[in-house]
Chain A
């Protein structure tokens, strides 16, 4: 069975359409979405309506949460005051145009999804705002996967796709008994993987193309897909809708609308 996993659409309807077409062409049997349907991009309602219409299982992203709960994440979610001001502009714009039923839909999205030995989250199993960057400490990475009980953890949020295999998980512990004797014990963690789906609508890999992944459960093969689309249409819509033109400039260069937070394991304190 082929499972397509996509994330971080951010109101980019053109990119979503292109990815859905590519998923069709790849004959995927199931599709999962890891959230951040809205924010920064010009078509938040259309994106959510499409996801709803296709009944794609979706978990809640940090932007989806913010548009429901209000922008109350702590200030260190942003790497700079400029990013914070731009993020707030995007949030205010989205908050104004979002339809009530769309907000309601976002409010009821689950934080995680399970499918057999697969787990789907937006940021990490701990929090939608936490970044599981490819270079995050291996012990932390392993803990995040183990906490789900799954073998493969699918996540997004970083906007850069990657596959990380945790296949050399050796844990060594030293047990001190009350009689002061010590014993060393060693465990081998089973193979676990973290798969980041990248971003459909707000790439950060230096090209404007949308990214997602396909997992083949029979061959155990993971394929990162990069899909070209007419990003200029989205750029034009950004400007036409009164969003900051710099969003269009950054999107056209695969730079993401704003920089990600510096602290890769930052968990928002609400």
Chain B
């Protein structure tokens, strides 16, 4: 079975762990429109290890040799043009689900979806939505600086931000997932279920995605760069954490 889901936030958030594990056991996740900035995929892979992540580049091979008994969850980004979206024949009869905020009527999603699910209330009022992405793989950020940047970001210092999410490697080796949706719960971060990266610059994915209006890309990029540590500082902090972990002083 193939299911195309037009959601920004993974439904996994809403389900309990046991249910997620059962679903994930026989599920494959693919995101169209994510490009190389795979925040959702990285988040899901870390938090739901049993879920199979399918890179877009492997989609053709997969369709030629589909896994029996697997459900494919295909997430479509909001920026995908539905009129020009042509799904492969083997996926054309998928169940199309649109998760939309309450009160939304007569959108292109209503005509496209087999099932419209009422999602959370949002205050999205964008006339000209703008998507900005930046890959930060290899960068290690100072956590205090990151907190300052994130506070400024979600409070409008760099434009009208409606949605922001990012995965950042910080100095103590952890990967943090930051999440913000305007009008919803307070923004916060969680530590991803990934091993600490304490041997120089990490080679796993990190990056940020922002949807908003009048976004000041240049300043955002510069501020993020200003949050990053140089090689010497990274080595210093990593050694400190290693020493703490060795002596068992690290409070987990």
Contact = CB atoms under 8 A, between A and B. Distances in A.
B229 A82 contact: no
Interface in A81-108: 81-83, 85-86
B145 A249 contact: no
B142 interface: yes
A228 interface: no
Given A246-B152, A246-B223, A80 B157 contact: no
A192 B113 CA distance: 71
Nearest to A78: B144
Given A246-B157, A249-B152, A249-B157, A80 B219 contact: no
A77 to B, nearest CB: 13
Interface in A227-247: 245-246
Using C-beta atoms within 8 Å of the partner chain, give the interface range for chain B. Answer: 10 to 19
A249 B148 CA distance: 13
A262 B144 CA distance: 10
B144 A80 contact: yes
Given A246-B157, A249-B157, A82 B219 contact: no
Most buried by B among A82, A245, A262: A82
B219 A83 contact: no
Nearest to B229: A81
Nearest to B233: A81
Nearest to B227: A82
A242 to B, nearest CB: 14
Contacts of B228: 81
B219 A81 contact: no
Contact of A81 (B142, B152, B157): B142
B151 to A, nearest CB: 9
Interface in B26-44: none
B148 A259 contact: yes
A82 B157 contact: no
Contact of A80 (B148, B152, B155, B156): B148
Q: Select the residue from B156, B157, B228, B229 with max chain A CB neighbours within 10 A.
A: B157
B226 interface: yes
A81 B234 CA distance: 12
B130 to A, nearest CB: 19
A186 to B, nearest CB: 39
A206 interface: no
Interface string A234-270: 0000000000011001100100000100100000000
Given A246-B157, A246-B219, A249-B157, A81 B226 contact: yes
A83 B145 contact: yes
Contacts of A245: 219
Contacts of A262: 144
Interface string A53-89: 0000000000000000000000000011111011000
Contact of B227 (A81, A249, A259): A81
B153 to A, nearest CB: 11
B149 interface: yes
Most buried by A among B144, B149, B219, B227: B144
Contact of A82 (B155, B156, B226, B233): B226
Contacts of A81: 142, 144-145, 226-229, 233
A245 B218 CA distance: 12
Nearest to B144: A80
Contacts of A246: 152, 157, 219, 223
A93 to B, nearest CB: 16
Interface of B: 142, 144-145, 147-149, 152, 155-157, 219, 223, 226-229, 233
Given A82-B149, A246-B219, A246-B223, 9 more contacts: A80-B142, A80-B144, A81-B145, A81-B229, A82-B142, A82-B226, A83-B148, A249-B156, A250-B152
12 contacts: A79-B144, A80-B142, A80-B227, A81-B142, A81-B144, A81-B226, A82-B142, A82-B227, A85-B226, A249-B152, A250-B152, A259-B144
Interface of A: 79-83, 85-86, 245-246, 249-250, 253, 259, 262
Closest 6 CB pairs of A and B: A82-B145, A80-B144, A80-B145, A81-B142, A249-B157, A85-B226
